A and B are shown apart, each in its own frame.
Chain A
Amino acid sequence: MNSLPDETSFVHYLQDSLTHMQGECPPAYAQLCALLAPRQVQLSVDREELWMAFEPAAISVQSGQAANASVHIRLPRQVILDMLDAKLTLQDGILAGRVSLQGDLHHLTLFYEGWLTYLRGAVRCPSIPDLLERYRYVSSPVE
C-alpha cells in the first residue's frame, strides 16, 4: 500500500529541488520547461507514484498518476543512490533492467535531454546537496 508521502519522499525531493533550481539556476529551469512543455512524465520510485507536468514557464510535481504521460520511468530508490555514487549510469541501469523507460523515440530523446538539463541545473544549485543528503540518509523506501 502507498502511504501518504512524507517530507523525505521522492516527490518532495523533486518538488523542492525544482523550486530551488528556479531561484538558484534559472537558465536550467527555463531550458527544462522549453524542452519538455507541454508534456507529462510519470515516475515510479519503488512503490511511490508521482508525475511531472511541464508548462512553458513552470514545472509541477504531484503524487499519483498522470492523465496523459508521454514518458514513463520506473526505477528503485537504490538506483537513484547508485547513480549519485557513480556505481551506475542511466544507460547501465536500463541495460541491466533496473530502470524502465517507456515512450516513443521522440519523447524519450526529449526526456534524456531534459534529464541532463535537470542535472546541469542541480549541480549549480547550492541548496540541492543538502536535499540529496536528506533524501539519502533520512528517507526510507515508501512501503
Chain B
Amino acid sequence: MELIPKVISLTDYVRLPTRLEAGAEQHKEWHHFCIVDPAVQVIVNLSLMRPPGSAPAAGDWAARLALLVRDTGWDGDLDTIPNREVRARRGSLDLQFGHNSLAFRDGCYHLSLSLENRPITLQLVLRPLTYPLIRRNTQIAEGKINWVVVPRLAASGTVIVDRRVYRLDETPAYHDHNWGQWRWGDDFAWQWGFALPAEAENPWCVVFDRMTDRRRSTALELKLSLWKGDRLQRLFFQDEIRLEQSGFVVQPRLDKFPRPMSLLAPERTTDVPRRFTVRAVRGDDWLDCCFTAEDIAQIVVPNETNLGVTIINEVGGMLRLTGRIKGEDAAMEGRGFFEFLT
C-alpha cells in the first residue's frame, strides 16, 4: 500500500466511544467531503450522534446524511437513517447508512449516496493527494473536538441533480473527519474554510480554522495551514494571524436544510461577510488569503442545551492566496467553502 492511504487508514477511522469513556453520551462524529467542480459543488456529511430523547438504548446512534448540491442554485436535504440500518464500527473506515455508504479501499474513498426525497445521487471515488493533518483535543466550550483533515483529493464519478448529470474527472475535493464530545448550543462558534486550485499542477492549498466562544469575542484556537503538494508546508497560529472582514452577503433567497427548520429560522439575512481576509506572518514567511463569498446555504441544528438553534452557514466562494514561504513565492486562486456558525 502506498504511504498516503496507509497513513489515512491509520488515522481516519471511526472513533465511536465505548460506554466507559467520559462524555460518551455527548459523542459526535462526522466524515465531511466537499467537491468543488466549477459547474457543481457538493457538500457531503455523514454524521453520528446519540439520538435525542431521555434514555436512548445502548449502542443506538442517530445517523444523518447531509447532501447539499450547488449548481443552478442550492438543493439537497438531510436524511435521518433508522438505527437498524446503520453500520458503523469503531476502528473501521466503512460506514453504511441505509442504502448510502462510505468505504475506504484501494487507497481511495468511495461514496455512494442517494437522498430519500430529493432527486440527487452521487457515485464518487476520491483519491487523496495529501497526507492528513491531525489535531487532537481542541477545546469546544466544555468539551473537546478532534480533527483529521485531508485537504486535497481528486474526485471522479457521477453527480446527478434532477435531470442534470455531471461526470467528474479528477475534480478538486476536500475531506475532514471530526469527533469529540460537546453539546450543540454550548458556548462556542467556529469559522472554518478551505480552498483548492483548479489547476492540478498548482501545488498550493490552504485550510483555515478558528474556534471561538459563541459571541466570537475570544479565540480558543486559530490556525492557518498551508500545503504544498502532498506535504504540510507551514502552520500559522494565534498571534501570527490577523483577520479582516467587510460587507455582508445579501441574496434574495436563503436556502435552509432540513427544509422544515426554515420555520424556526425564517430570517433572510445573515452576518456572513462578503469578503474575509486572513493575513499570517512569521519571520520571513507570510501569507495573504482573501475569500470572496458567492452565496450561502444554511444547515439549522436544534440546540441540545436549550430550545434554540445553531445555524451553520455553508458559504461557497473563491479564494485568492499570495505569499512567500521558506523563500518561495506561493500563489493560488481557487474555489472553496467556508463555514460560519451563528
- Please give the residue numbers on chain A whose beta carbons come within 8 Å of chain B beta carbons, in ascending order: 24-25, 27-28, 31, 83-86, 89-91, 116-117, 119-121, 123-126, 129, 132
Residues of B within 8 A of A119 (CB): 260, 263-264
A117 with B307, Cβ < 8 A, contacts A123-B264, A123-B302, A126-B53 known: yes
Q: How far is the CA of A132 from the CA of B263 in the complex (A)?
A: 15
- Which chain B residue shows the least CB distance to A87? B259
Residues of A within 8 A of B80 (CB): 129
Given contacts A90-B263, A119-B263, 9 further A-B contacts (CB under 8 A): A83-B263, A84-B260, A84-B263, A86-B259, A86-B260, A90-B266, A117-B307, A119-B260, A126-B51
Residues of A within 8 A of B308 (CB): 120
Size of B's binding interface in residues, CB under 8 A: 17
A124 lies within 8 A of B262 (CB): no
Q: How far is the CA of A28 from the CA of B53 in the complex (A)?
A: 13
Residue among A83, A116, A123, A129 having the largest count of chain B Cβ atoms under 10 Å: A123
B266 lies within 8 A of A89 (CB): yes
Q: How far is the CA of A120 from the CA of B266 in the complex (A)?
A: 13
- Which chain A residue shows the least CB distance to B62? A126
A86 with B52, Cβ < 8 A, contacts A27-B307, A123-B302, A124-B302 known: no
Is B235 interfacial (CB-CB < 8 Å)?
Answer: no
Instruction: Quote the shortest CB–CB distance from A132 to chain B (angstroms).
Output: 8
Q: How far is the CA of A89 from the CA of B254 in the complex (A)?
A: 12
Is B256 interfacial (CB-CB < 8 Å)?
Answer: yes
- Which chain B residue shows the least CB distance to A125? B52
A86 lies within 8 A of B264 (CB): no
A91 lies within 8 A of B266 (CB): yes
B262 lies within 8 A of A86 (CB): yes
Residues of B within 8 A of A86 (CB): 255-256, 259-260, 262-263
Q: How far is the CA of A43 from the CA of B138 in the complex (A)?
A: 50
Is B40 interfacial (CB-CB < 8 Å)?
Answer: no
Q: How far is the CA of A21 from the CA of B261 in the complex (A)?
A: 17
Instruction: Quote the shortest CB–CB distance from B308 to chain A (angstroms).
Output: 8
- Which chain B residue shows the least CB distance to A92? B266
Q: How far is the CA of A116 from the CA of B259 in the complex (A)?
A: 15
- Which chain B residue shows the least CB distance to A132? B260
A85 with B307, Cβ < 8 A, contacts A120-B264, A123-B302, A129-B80 known: no
Residues of A within 8 A of B260 (CB): 83-86, 119, 123, 132
Q: Which of A85, A124, A129 contacts B259 (CB 8 A)?
A: A85
A24 lies within 8 A of B266 (CB): no
Residues of A within 8 A of B54 (CB): 24
A126 lies within 8 A of B264 (CB): no
A89 lies within 8 A of B302 (CB): no
- Which chain B residue shows the least CB distance to A117? B307
B51 lies within 8 A of A84 (CB): no
Q: Which of B53, B261, B266, B307 contacts A121 (CB 8 A)?
A: B307
A124 with B52, Cβ < 8 A, contacts A31-B307, A84-B259, A129-B80 known: yes
Residues of B within 8 A of A121 (CB): 307
Would you give the 0/1 interface string for B32-72, flagging 1 where the beta carbon is closer than 8 Å to chain A? 00000000000000000001111000000000000000000
Task: Provide a sorted-by-A list of 9 A–B residue pairs whose CB atoms are within 8 angstroms.
Answer: A83-B263, A84-B263, A86-B262, A89-B266, A120-B264, A120-B307, A120-B308, A121-B307, A126-B51
Residues of A within 8 A of B259 (CB): 84-86
Residues of B within 8 A of A91 (CB): 266
Q: How far is the CA of A90 from the CA of B51 in the complex (A)?
A: 29
Instruction: Quote the shortest CB–CB distance from B84 to chain A (angstroms).
Output: 14
A89 lies within 8 A of B307 (CB): no
Would you give the 0/1 interface string for B256-278, flagging 1 where the beta carbon is closer than 8 Å to chain A? 10011111101000000000000
Residues of B within 8 A of A27 (CB): 307
Instruction: Quote the shortest CB–CB distance from A135 to chain B (angstroms).
Output: 12
- Which chain B residue shows the least CB distance to A27? B307
Instruction: Quote the shortest CB–CB distance from B119 to chain A (angstroms).
Output: 14
Residues of B within 8 A of A116 (CB): 264
A89 lies within 8 A of B52 (CB): no
- Within 228-265 of B, Cβ neighbours of A (below 8 Å) are at 255-256, 259-264
Q: How far is the CA of A126 from the CA of B61 in the complex (A)?
A: 12
B261 lies within 8 A of A123 (CB): yes
